Amino acid sequence: ILSFFLNHDQMQAWGWRIPFILGLFLGLFGLYLRRKLEESPVYENDVATTPQRDNIGFFTIIRYYYKDI
């Protein structure tokens, strides 16, 4: 799309920066949405009723279960 509006010299000079600037704004907007939007009640209920898993470290698994792996 940019190559339609900008010639080769303009793309080489400054036009290549435009997608990065747009990506920055899109990323900031996505971060804002993730921070400010609330989760759905169905998801929160599902998380609340899901049993917690045990946290077993990687080295514990290797140490005690290496034959099973």
pLDDT 10s digit of each residue in the chain, 69 long? 788 888 889 888 888 888 999 999 999 999 999 999 998 999 999 888 888 877 788 888 888 888 887
Provide the whole-model pTM: 0.54
Calpha distance 68→61 (Å, rounded): 10
Calpha distance 22→16 (Å, rounded): 11
pLDDT at 50: 84
Give the amino acid at 17: R
pLDDT at 51: 83
Give the tokens for residue 30. Answer: 């996505």
User: Locate tokens 């080295």: which residue?
Assistant: 59
